[in-house]
Amino acid sequence: MVERKKIEIPAGAKVKVSVGPEEKFPFDISPMYEGERIRKEDMFVELGGPKQVKFELVLALPPEQVEDMKVTLVGPDLDEMQEGKEYPYAMIYYIAGSKVETDLEPVIERRNHDFQNYIEGYMHLNQRYDVWVRIGKGSIKKGLKSLIQIAKATMMLYKNELPFIEKIEALYITDKELVEKLLKEVAMPVYEERDKRVEMLHDEDVEEFYSCTLCQSFAPTNVCVVSPDRPSLCGAISWFDGRAAAKVDPEGPNRAIPKGEVLDPIGGEYSGVNEFAKQESGGEYERIKLHSFFEFPHTSCGCFEVIGFYMPEVDGIGWVHRGYAGPAPNGLTFSTMAGQTGGGKQVAGFLGIGINYFRSKKFIQADGGWYRVVWMPKELKERVSKYIPDDIRDKIATEENAKNLDELKEFLKKVDHPVVKGVVRKVDGKKITEGWVEEKVEEKVEEKKEEAPAPTPAVAQPAPAVGMPMQMPAFQLPAIQMPASQPAPAGIKLVIKDAKITIGKIVVKKSKGES
């Protein structure tokens, strides 16, 4: 077990210290500010985010080691920061209490997202090593001068909302060198230790799963279901974490979900989860399969660490993580796909997950698991490499092998990836795709004539047709393609939802023969 102890602050570091509760804050604190977005033009500074090193961490310590309501800030404060710039950011909380135990650390850590979004003019997104904070210009004008004020407000909320926390102390860091050092030496080993706990436990071993509704301020229809084989989308909550949270706060964001009847053991569909989905999504969704990519997939919030995307051109699935800035082979970046998928939507062809889901033995098993995966950024692939089966690891492309769909097709053919000839599902031996169907063009050999025929223009060979995936669920608009020269056959009905149609001009003409 990673030793829990207070961080030693390097000699000579720039330090500010404040002890005791704040009498008055220069900003409002209320749940009404949950979901508040601070756009770039309204931003004073950005802390963490895509361009800076960052993390948040909670450590449970003995009561005698925690100085209640003390804040230590290492590095430049708000009044020393330049407007419009990005800075590194670490938030570390030491907690103590008779009911506080190590199992509660990630649960309390995740509530940082909840409580900090109560603060007017302060936007907190994501979790762990992906935290992204923006402070609005309006808050600075109203009198916000120091990150110590943010820390004091957050600690006050922790103690008010979670009374089992008897003592809390905060260490905030904006010194880049120290943030990098602590992320590597302290935070990552703690995260890894937490994640390893669930590897030996599976969905069939338990009677209850757990919910997480912390993201519903940004994604109101999101239904986050945490099971032993499927951690939260943000990666911060495991099944053990959900159980610990439900124990101390039964009415909180992490509640027990009775599994109910097993409806689809491969896809991971349970009657209890479906009932919960209908309730939590306000009736928007009635079915969820925990281990399916295409058929009634899990909803995607916005805090997910990785997004999966289907590429029909190769009949395979790619994955890209939040830290990858370039476009995937489909031409889209993480942020573009996240914008289409997040918000609590259930989208066939796109899926948000936590990185730890790659560890799962049931990883998208309904759709072939790793044998349907065709592309990942090199950094992500290396990070989860030991969980990829040996016989498919080298057949999954990275940006070094393929940057677009044409290059990806060539790579997959070269390595004989299963999608080329058809994917066989390992869990039950069923062949779920037919592979790529190459159209063969037969050539006629004519007898040689006295006069050579006139040269004809070259005809481009048709692109190989690829096998389509398993049937898409009803909520996906099917793509219907017909030759432009032929009318649509009778009986076809198109239902278009959530589409915006713009008509530039309507011309009405009298037909011939009309008087």
**Beta strand pairing status for 208-212 and 306-311?**
unpaired
Pick the CATH number of 205-480 from 3.40.50.2000, 3.20.20.370, 3.40.1470.10, 3.40.50.150: 3.40.1470.10
CA gap 335, 338 in Å, rounded = 5
Six token digits for residue 499? 């589409």
The predicted model gives 358-369 an average pLDDT of 96
Give residue-wise pLDDT tens across range 187-197. 999 998 887 87
Sorted by where each begins, the domain ranges of the chain are 15-200, 205-480
Average pLDDT, integer, range 450-465: 41
* Residue with tokens 């479906």, as numbered in its chain: 274
The per-residue pLDDT for range 226-239, each reduced to its tens digit, is: 999 999 988 878 89
**pLDDT at residue 321 above 60?**
yes
- Could you give the CA distance from residue 482 to residue 181 in angstroms, rounded to a whole number? 58
Tell me how far apart the alpha carbons of residues 300 and 352 are, in angstroms, rounded to a whole number.
Answer: 5
Residue 84: per-residue pLDDT:
94
Distance of CA 356 to the CA centre of its chain: 11
At 471-508, the pLDDT tens digits run 333 333 333 333 333 333 334 344 444 555 555 555 55
Q: Per-residue confidence at 198, pLDDT binned at 50, 70, 90?
A: confident
Residue predicted with more confidence, 464 or 133: 133
Q: What is the DSSP letter of 493?
A: -
Q: Write down the pLDDT at residue 194.
A: 85
Q: Is the predicted pLDDT of residue 61 greater than 50, yes or no?
A: yes
Check pLDDT > 80 for residue 154: yes
State the Rg of the chain over Cα. Answer: 27
Give yes or no for a contact between 300 and 350, defined as CB atoms under 8 angstroms apart. yes
User: pLDDT tens digits, residue range 236-275?
Assistant: 788 988 888 888 788 888 899 999 999 999 999 999 999 9
The CATH class that applies to domain 15-200 reads alpha beta
Element (H, E) at 407: helix 405-415
Please choose, from the candidates 303, 284, 372, the residue with its C-alpha nearest in 3D space to the C-alpha of residue 341.
303
Burial class (CB in 10 A: 0-12, 13-18, 19+), 259: middle
Contact 122, 29 (CB under 8 A): no
